[in-house]
Amino acid sequence: MADNVRNSLIKRIHVLKRELSLDDDTYRTILRTVSGEESCADIDDEYLNLVKQTLEGHQQKTQQTRIAKNEHLQKKISKLGFILNWNWTRIADFCKQQTGKRSTQSCNPSELTKIVNGMIAIINDKISKQEIVLPHAEMQEFLKYTQRPSIKKEE
Using one digit for the tens of pLDDT, what is the confidence trace for 56-98?
Answer: 998 888 888 777 788 889 999 998 998 899 999 999 999 999 9
Check if the beta carbon of residue 83 is closer than 8 Å to that of residue 138: yes
Q: What percent of the chain has pLDDT over 70?
A: 92
Residue 152 has φ and ψ, to the nearest 5°, of -75, 145
Using one digit for the tens of pLDDT, what is the confidence trace for 97-132?
Answer: 999 999 998 888 889 999 999 999 999 899 889 898
Distance CA 151, CA 4 (A): 65
pLDDT above 60 for 151: no
Within its chain, how far is the Cα of 144 from the centroid? 20
- Under the banding of pLDDT at 50, 70 and 90, the label for residue 148 is low
pLDDT of residue 72: 87
Number of Cβ atoms within 10 Å of the Cβ of 143: 14
Residues contacting residue 4 through CB under 8 Å, at least 6 positions apart: none
pLDDT of residue 154: 41
pLDDT above 90 for 143: no
Quote the mean pLDDT of the chain.
87
pTM of the model: 0.57
